[in-house]
Each structure stands twice: as C-alpha cells, then as structure tokens.
C-alpha cells in the first residue's frame, strides 16, 4: 500500500510531482486508429511527433488503490481528425473521472451501441460510467490537459477499441469541430463484449 502523500498538479505543463510512470504516444503508435491512413503515414515520415503524454502519480494499478494521472494531448490533426488518445475500455467495468486543466477537448464514450460525448474545459469534470469505452481528442489550438482518476483494478483493454472503434470520430468542421457517428455500427462480437460488462457494472 502507498503511504499518504500530496502531489502537485501543474495544469500549465502537465506535470505531476512526485511522478510515477511517464508514457508517450507518437503518431506511429496510433496506426489503424485514424480514418486517413495515408495522411498518418505522411505525418509519421515527417517527424513522427508525440501526440500525447501521460504522467502518472506513483500509485500502483491494483485493487483498492486509486491511481491518477495527467494526460497532455498536443494540438494537431491527421487529415480532418483531431489528435486523440488510443482509447480503451476497462475490462473490469469500473467508472472514471476526468477533470479539465487546460485547453479544450472532447471526451468520447461508447458502449458498443450508443455514442455519448462531452466537452472538457478547465474546471469541467467528465464522468465515464462503468462499461463505456473512452477516448479524448484535442479540439483546440493549444495543448489539452486533464486529470484522470480511476480504480486501480479497472485494467485497460485497447484491443476492443482498435478492433471495434468508438462509434464516432471527432473532426474539423466550419464551427470548429463536430462528432460524426460512423455508419454501420459495431459487429455482434463487439456489442456482446460491452453488454456483458454493463450487466456486471
């Protein structure tokens, strides 16, 4: 178990002090997730920049603990689609809270059938209920930063989002951005994955 502590959360830099694990995802780590695969490959060839960074507090991902971390998503697009996280579901159906620190983003949620999204700005908390996959996109012109707090036993399933998508994409529009639902919907295996988790959650 972790001893009691306080951590500094720097909304201007995305820093957490003391910090635990720090991870970075580049464009090349996001292959298969953006709609415009050719635009992604061009951008990978032009420098493969970091799309987002996650700085975690030193709290382990085990039952009973409550890990927290700050994500910074840079401003940018691949084709018309805004820079975003890979996205995942929690295999143990557990909820999560996101709290906006700087910039402007969209928190996209998907339960295999329905798409919901909320805008996150500084001072706004977004709630992800158990059983909903989630992804964030930076829809502003500056880095988008948010604090995430979640149960340590939740786990992270990236394959279900890589394979089944998020049901919608966050793209540029005349108004700035729009969330466009994807036609067709998920296949039966993906729907069943989420149904099972919602029953347990």
Structure tokens at 39: 């635009």
CB of 154 to Zn ion, least distance (A): 7
- Applying CB under 6 A, the residues found at the interface with ligand F6R are 54, 69, 71, 85-88, 96, 134, 136, 148, 150, 156
Q: Which stretch binds Zn ion (CB under 5 A): 4-12, 40-48, 95-103, 135-143?
A: 95-103
Q: Could you tell which of Zn ion, ligand F6R, none binds residue 87, using a CB distance below 5 to 8 A set by kind?
A: ligand F6R
Tell me if 59 sits within 8 A of 152, measured CB to CB: yes
Structure tokens at 126: 């977004």
Q: Which is it for the CA torsion 10, 93, 138, 35, positive or negative?
A: positive
Nearest to Zn ion of 81, 96 (CB atom) = 96
Answer left, alpha or beta for residue 48, where phi above 0 means left and psi between -120 and 50 means alpha.
left
Maximum CA pair distance of the chain? 50
Nearest to ligand F6R of 43, 161 (CB atom) = 161
Tell me if 55 sits within 8 A of 106, measured CB to CB: no
Nearest to ligand F6R of 38, 62 (CB atom) = 62
Nearest to Zn ion of 9, 89 (CB atom) = 89
């Amino acid at each position: 178990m972790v001893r009691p502590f306080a951590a500094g959360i720097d909304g201007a830099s995305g820093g957490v002090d003391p910090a635990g694990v720090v991870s970075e995802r580049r464009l090349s780590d996001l292959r298969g997730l953006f709609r415009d695969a050719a635009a992604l490959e061009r951008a990978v060839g032009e420098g493969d920049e970091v799309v987002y960074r996650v700085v975690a507090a030193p709290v382990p991902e085990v039952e009973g603990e409550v890990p927290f971390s700050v994500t910074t998503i840079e401003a940018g697009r691949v084709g018309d689609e805004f820079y975003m996280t890979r996205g995942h579901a929690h295999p143990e159906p557990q909820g999560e809270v996101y709290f906006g620190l700087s910039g402007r983003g969209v928190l996209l949620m998907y339960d295999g059938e329905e798409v919901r999204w909320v805008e996150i700005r500084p001072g706004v908390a977004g709630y992800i209920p158990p059983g909903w996959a989630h992804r964030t996109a930076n829809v502003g012109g500056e880095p988008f930063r948010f604090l995430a707090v979640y149960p340590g036993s939740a786990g992270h399933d990236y394959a279900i989002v890589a394979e089944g998508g998020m049901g919608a994409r966050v793209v540029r529009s005349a108004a700035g951005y729009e969330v466009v639902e994807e036609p067709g919907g998920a296949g039966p295996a993906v729907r069943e994955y989420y149904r099972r988790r919602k029953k347990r959650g």
